[in-house]
């Protein structure tokens, strides 16, 4: 007996709907596991030291492995994932090559020749410390994999919005934890050998500068959330099909309060570069969102009104800094340009000039820098583990070859976000504030080392993944009211 066509159609529709719901549940489960792993990596002092670095790696490996079960359905997402894997493989291959025995002495680092002349048997490697280079590889690979996984997890609009909000909630929760620790648990050892509140507001992080990077990204996440149009504000599909207005005042007020609290906490850190660049990126992102409101609807506000609002946003940012930035300004006035970073940068530049093409080995700054340390400038006490400039340290480690690959990756990010600015309408704040996060970390990395802290790099990679995923979303035309009615009628029959 042959089944009616309407019954077969309804059966297939129910099967497809069930499959989609299972896939959505799987994606969101992986997303939650990813968020938990990133949050714990941040909470454990940024996972900068043993054993927390290893613990965070193990926790992060679970959602990364599970993300392999997610199908890439978006054409552009598949293309970007492919390019990201190509760039990651190329950079990884180059770093691995630095740890291998070189057949030509000219390619090896000069330190190996010095050892041979001293009568010490040694190999010929590009890296001055091959074991350290191999040990540093996860710090490059894991953030890249987080970025790729977030691209795959956020191929749907609802998933992307959820991911962005989860990252913002993580930031708010850890910001509150920082405040509680500094106010009520001063001197406590919290996943660190340094007591809380020992010299500056650092909270759960290794120092004030890393804390400022984390707080800046949290503020940018909250800023985009504040400007997102809530889909429930338009209509709510109920059983009786009525349009039910949902008030948003309370939700927006809570987000605004947390944003203000995050900004004030950022300024309290007294991080000169972190606080200044963070507030600058946040203000610029708000101004960009206001300025790009034209073209989103037929009832666009006039250009003069948008210009006035942008000016108000700029004045608000300046006013907040003037009102609460006293700690930062006092530190700027007391320290000025008298900073030992300049001496470290000079020594790092000399290391770059020694091996400009191939570098001294990824992650070998601690081993290489003492050869170029100026005792008159830096003194003889203390131990420099970072150059406080990501670009100089990366160039010193990977050479011009690694720098070229890094520039290609940066170009890919900028290109994706630029395309997203023209495509997106309702989700444009996510793209703009993702670009603001990129600008903030690029500026801050010129004076500190936020992206060299595992937890911070994971957090930043997740933000970039969501932002790029939103930029790549394909527009799906919403069916007309008549079409939806005909589909519902056919399903009911």
Return the pLDDT at 493.
Answer: 44
Listed in sequence order, the residues at least 6 apart from 319 whose beta carbon sits closer than 8 Å to its beta carbon are none
For the segment 97-119, what is each residue's pLDDT rounded down to a tens digit?
999 998 888 888 888 888 877 77
Q: pLDDT, tens digit, for every residue of 242-296?
A: 444 445 678 899 999 999 999 999 999 989 899 999 999 999 999 999 888 755 5
The 3-state secondary structure of the chain, one letter per residue: CCCCHHHHHHHHHHHHHHHHHHHHHHHHHHHHHHHHHHHHHHHCHHHCCCCHHHHHHHHHHHHHHHHHHCCCCCHHHHHHHHHHHHHHHHHHHHHHHHCCECCCHHHCCHHHHHHHHCCCCCCCECCCCHHHHHHHCHHHHHHHHHHHHHHHHCCCHHHHHHHHHHHHHHHHHHHHHHHHHHHHCCCCCCCCCCCCCCCCCCCCCCCHHHHHHHHHHHHHHHHHHHHCCCHHHCCCCCCCCCCCCCCCHHHHHHHHHHHHHHHHHHHHCCCHHHHHHHHHHHHHHHHHHHHCCCCCCCCCCCHHHHHHHHHHHHHHHHHHHHHHCHHHHHHHHHHCCCCCHHHHHHHHHHHHHHCCCCCCCCCCHHHHHHHHCCHHHHCCCCCCCCCCCHHHHHHHHHHHHHHHHHHHHHHHHHHHHHHHHHHCCCCHHHHHHHHHHHHHHHHHCCCCCHHHCHHHHHHHHHHHHHHHHHHHCCCCCCCCHHHHHHHHHHHHC
Q: Two tokens at 302?
A: 């006039």
* Residue 438 confidence (pLDDT): 98
* Residue-level pLDDT at 13: 53
Let me know: does 35 contact 29? Beta carbons within 8 Å. Answer: no
Place of tokens 């009102």: 323
d(CA 326, CA 338): 19
- Confidence at residue 44, expressed as pLDDT on a 0 to 100 scale: 94
The angle subtended at Cα 391 by Cα 351 and Cα 208, nearest 5°, is 110
Distance separating alpha carbons of residues 453 and 243, to the nearest angstrom: 48
Q: Please, what is the angle between helix 208-227 and helix 157-184, to 10°?
A: 140
- CA dist list (Å): 474 to 227, 423, 483: 21, 9, 21
pLDDT at site 373 = 87
Using DSSP, how many helices (H) and how many strands (E) does the chain show? 19, 0
Q: Which segments in the chain show pLDDT lower than 70?
A: 1-20, 199, 230-248, 294-305, 336-339, 380, 475-493
The neighbour count for residue 115, using CB atoms within 10 Å, is 13
- Residue-level pLDDT at 316: 87
> For tokens 């001294």, what's the residue?
360
């Amino acid at each position: 007996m042959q089944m009616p066509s309407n019954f077969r159609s309804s059966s297939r529709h129910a099967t497809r709907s069930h499959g989609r719901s299972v896939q959505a549940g799987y994606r969101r489960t992986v997303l939650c596991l990813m968020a938990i792993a990133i949050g714990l990596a941040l909470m454990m002092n940024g996972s900068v030291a043993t054993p927390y670095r290893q613990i965070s790696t193990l926790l992060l490996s679970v959602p990364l492995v599970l993300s392999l079960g997610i199908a890439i359905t978006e054409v552009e997402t598949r293309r970007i994932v492919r390019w990201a894997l190509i760039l990651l493989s190329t950079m990884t291959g180059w770093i691995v090559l630095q740890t291998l025995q070189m057949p030509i002495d000219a390619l090896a680092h000069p330190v190996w020749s010095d050892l041979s002349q001293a009568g010490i048997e040694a190999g010929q490697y590009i890296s001055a410390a091959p074991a350290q280079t191999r040990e540093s590889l996860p710090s490059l690979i894991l953030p890249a994999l987080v970025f790729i996984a977030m691209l795959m997890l956020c191929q749907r609009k609802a998933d992307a919005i959820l991911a962005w909000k989860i990252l913002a909630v993580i930031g708010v929760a850890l910001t509150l934890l920082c405040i509680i620790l500094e106010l009520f648990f001063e001197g406590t050892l919290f996943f660190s050998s340094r007591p809380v509140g020992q010299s500056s507001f650092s909270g759960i992080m290794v120092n004030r500068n890393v804390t400022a990077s984390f707080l800046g990204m949290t503020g940018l996440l909250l800023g985009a959330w504040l400007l997102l149009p809530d889909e429930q504000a338009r209509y709510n599909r109920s059983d009786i099909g009525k349009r039910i207005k949902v008030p948003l005042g309370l939700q927006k007020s809570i987000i605004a309060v947390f944003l203000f609290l995050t900004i004030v906490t950022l300024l309290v850190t007294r991080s000169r570069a972190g606080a200044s660049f963070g507030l600058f990126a946040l203000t610029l992102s708000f101004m960009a969102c206001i300025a790009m409101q034209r073209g989103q609807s037929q009832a666009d506000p006039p250009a003069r009104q948008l210009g006035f609002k942008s000016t108000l946003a700029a004045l608000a940012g300046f006013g907040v800094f003037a009102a609460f930035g006293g700690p930062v300004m006092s530190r700027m006035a007391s320290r000025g340009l008298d900073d030992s970073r300049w001496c470290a940068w000079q020594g790092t530049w000399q290391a770059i000039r020694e091996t400009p093409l191939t570098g001294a080995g990824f992650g070998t700054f601690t081993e290489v820098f003492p050869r170029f340390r100026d005792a008159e400038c830096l003194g003889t006490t203390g131990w420099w583990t970072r150059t406080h400039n990501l670009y100089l340290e990366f160039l010193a480690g990977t050479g011009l070859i690694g720098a070229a690959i890094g520039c290609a990756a940066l170009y890919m990010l900028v290109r994706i976000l630029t395309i997203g600015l023209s495509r997106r309408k309702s989700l444009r704040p996510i793209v703009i504030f993702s670009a603001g996060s990129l600008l903030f970390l690029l500026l801050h990395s010129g004076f500190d080392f936020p992206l060299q802290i595992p937890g911070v790099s994971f957090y930043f990679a997740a933000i970039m993944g969501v932002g790029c995923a939103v930029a790549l979303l394909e527009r799906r035309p919403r069916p007309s009211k008549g079409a939806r009615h005909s589909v519902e009628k056919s399903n009911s029959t």
